[in-house]
Amino acid sequence: MMQFTLISLLREVSNCVGTLNPHKEEGFKLVMEMLRQVVELHPGLNALHIGADEVYMLGEGELSKLWLASSGRTVEQLFLSHVASIVKYIKKEWPHMTIIMWDDMMRGMSQDTLKASGIVGFVQPMLWDYTPNLDVDKTGMNCNLAILYLNNIAIVTIFSPSEHDILSQ
């Protein structure tokens, strides 16, 4: 979606199609409209996965740099404030909706940071890993935080055997 010309103006940085600028109201409105359409097309829907993964360029845009320049602000807070605004909107529009999101951007965040975000109890993190065996000590570091502070947790491991593995069988 972010590769289209009109939508490209909503990117955090111009050369990164995967990160929405959290400071642009038009981006928020676009996300809410997309969610509204999904809910409308799926009567009886009771869960929404909002993604929120792999936004590694967050904080690199000019507006984000200005926001971060204010004393004590972090990229973690920027991420969580954007997620919290989306979660708040979803809960206002569809109070029954379970909200799921990927965990990768929350890995390593402190309990205090997560707690202060306002998303605790409103989202279910879904842990993912691309390896055949989930290394809970590595990937699941945030499991303890999720169990302590969020509703539920789901774990997904995605493994695609290499061509060599397939040919040698």
**For the chain, what are the domain ranges?**
5-167
Question: Which pLDDT does position 168 carry in this prediction?
Answer: 42
Two tokens at 34? 């997309």
> Choosing from 26, 33, 54, 93, which is the catalytic residue?
54
The reply to whether 54 belongs to the active site is yes
pTM: 0.79
Query: Residue 13 in contact with residue 61, Cβ under 8 Å?
Result: yes
Question: Which pLDDT does position 112 carry in this prediction?
Answer: 85
Residue 92 pLDDT greater than 80, yes or no: yes
Residue 128 pLDDT greater than 80, yes or no: no
CATH of domain 5-167: 3.20.20.80
